[in-house]
A = this chain, B = another copy of it.
């Protein structure tokens, strides 16, 4: 049922209505924001960018980022849960890799945005 808009002013009801119709559902918003959180941290970003080049194991990533292996492992679990990375075992070593090309696609678009930085009039 309709919740009353508890004192919220609305100037353009038509815009609010049309926006509401096209809104993503709450579950999708939650999943989306979780996905973007993966890229919203320097350590995870560097891990993803490194894995975009080649598969790597936990301790190599730790050496690259100069943070503890535990920290890397925690972040890899985060990325694993989001299905962004996967691993394969070789003896005691786990090699991590990106699961699909979406990671590199997202990074590419984001870098493109950044590099338009100072718009000299587009």
- Which positions in A face B, CB cutoff 8 Å? 3, 5-6, 8-12, 15-16, 18-20, 22-24, 28-33, 35-37, 39-42, 45-46, 49-50, 53-54, 56-57, 59-60, 62-64, 66, 69, 83, 93, 100, 102, 105-107, 109-114, 116-117, 119, 122
Given the known interface contacts A23-B50, A40-B36, the answer about A10 and B110 at a Cβ–Cβ threshold of 8 Å is no
Apart from A11-B59, A28-B111, 6 more pairs, CB < 8 Å: A10-B60, A12-B60, A15-B56, A23-B46, A32-B111, A102-B112
- Report the copy number of this chain in the oligomer: 2
Give the dominant DSSP class at A's interface. Answer: helix
Q: Given A29-B46, A37-B40, A64 and B19 touching (CB < 8 A)?
A: yes
Check A42–B31 contact: CB distance below 8 A.
Answer: no
**Chain B residues, CB < 8 A from A12:** 56-57, 60
